[in-house]
Amino acid sequence: MIGIRSLASSALVGLIAFVSPASIGAGPSPAAPEGSKEARKELQLAAKLLSSKNGVEQGIEKLRAIIAKYPLDEAAEKAAGLLTEFGVGDEVRVRLVDRTTFRKSLGVEDRAMLEKVEKLLEDLRESYGPVPKVFTQHTLELAYYDSQERFRSAGGEITSSGRFTSEKKDFATKSIAGKIETYPPIQARSIQDRETALRGSLIHECTHYLNAIHLAGALPSVFDEGLATWFTSRLNTESYQYFRITDRERLESDCRNTLNLIAKYPDFVKFLSADRGFGRGDATVERWYALCYSVVDFFEGGEIGGKKASRKQLVEALRLAVDEAVAAAKGRSPKALPPQALLERIVKEFYGADLPAFHAALVARIVKDYKQR
């Protein structure tokens, strides 16, 4: 971690004072919990590690150990506060890369970024609904790079503003470790637009995280990306100052402008199994995302033969299909569900219709409701 010495914040200074030799030598007060003296010694070691150039990870693990070993001690409270200063929460871990650039040039701090992601996950979970979890133990790491160049050097795509990956997935222990990587939006023309774009990117990637937790990461791209774009459109509603358009308006405009790619039924079927961006780049990637959005959005606002459904029902139906795939995998990671067969099954269940009827209704809805901008 670069620039770690710059993190000698008021919290760290206060902690060092708390665990100073003089303080330790005085011993705990009669009312202090048993073991407080030893806890202070361990806290002092953690503080030294955090102040060193290469000791941050060891320091963080030491703080976690203190909380586990001395849960009722004052040292545990100090350790928890310092973990927050370093972007470490109960579920989420934030890593600012490079921290010096973020703190000095962009005014971004670990604690603030941690609070942003935790609040966003809270809002997203409320909207996602009470779908049971496949993985009951889950953690999320956010690697926030200070530039697109650094993001790309870590393996990020040039046509992507972020990515989610499952670092560890264990069906035996029902545990998963997710990782989001993103960077400050380069297209933002103002601070407000930067914040709006960043929020949208985080919502998108956090939806993938929830899809992994609740749906085992077994969704085909059309649903995985469709849900991610749909939640982004509904939870990130600020209009960009420069473009004067919201994420939802942009998605629906891109979809309307690229309707020719799925206007014919055979092309729609090919789209369902197509690679990201149809294997191309530039604007085609954005249009592919928009088409994925339209499929999920249909279940919220479309109808066939007078029958309607909802996005909530869609997620529940996807979960049932995932349960079958997980059971068939017998403790191993299930393969992604086949998109065409999955969509056909859901359409028949919800609307009593076949896939060509869904395609015709989808195209008609895009023409009628999505505005070109």
Domains of the chain: 4-86 (no CATH), 87-215 (3.40.390), 216-373 (no CATH)
What type of residue is 251?
L
Of 49-53, 86-90, 241-245, give the lowest mean pLDDT range.
241-245
How far apart are the C-alpha atoms of 222 and 296, rounded to whole Å?
8
Q: Is the per-residue pLDDT at 14 higher than 60?
A: no
Structure tokens at 367: 């023409």
Would you state the pLDDT for residue 107? 87
Across 144-157, average pLDDT: 93
Q: Is the per-residue pLDDT at 264 higher than 80?
A: yes
What type of residue is 274?
A
- Sole residue written with tokens 């993938």: 208
Would you state the pLDDT for residue 283? 78
Q: What three-state secondary structure class fits 223?
A: helix
How far apart are the C-alpha atoms of 188 and 161, rounded to whole Å?
12
Would you state the pLDDT for residue 18? 47
- Sole residue written with tokens 């650039």: 101
Distance of CA 57 to the CA centre of its chain: 23
How far apart are the C-alpha atoms of 346 and 328, rounded to whole Å?
20
Q: Phi/psi at 303 (nearest 5 deg)?
A: -155, 155
196 Cβ partners below 8 Å, 6+ apart?
A: 188, 236, 238, 240
How far apart are the C-alpha atoms of 223 and 10, rounded to whole Å?
46
Position 187 confidence tier, pLDDT thresholds 50, 70, 90: low
Would you state the pLDDT for residue 292? 98
* Closest C-alpha among 352, 268, 265, 342 to residue 308: 352
Whether residue 143 contacts residue 95, with contact meaning beta carbons closer than 8 Å, is answered with yes
Which residues face 308 on adjacent strands? 303
Q: Is the per-residue pLDDT at 4 higher than 90?
A: no
Length reported for the chain:
373
Report the 10 Å Cβ neighbour count for 89.
18
Please give the model's pTM, rounded to 2 decimal places: 0.88
Q: Which residue has the higher pLDDT, 229 or 191?
A: 229
Position 35 confidence tier, pLDDT thresholds 50, 70, 90: low
Q: Where are the alpha helices (DSSP H) in 70-155?
A: 74-85, 99-101, 110-128, 148-153
Distance of CA 109 to the CA centre of its chain: 19
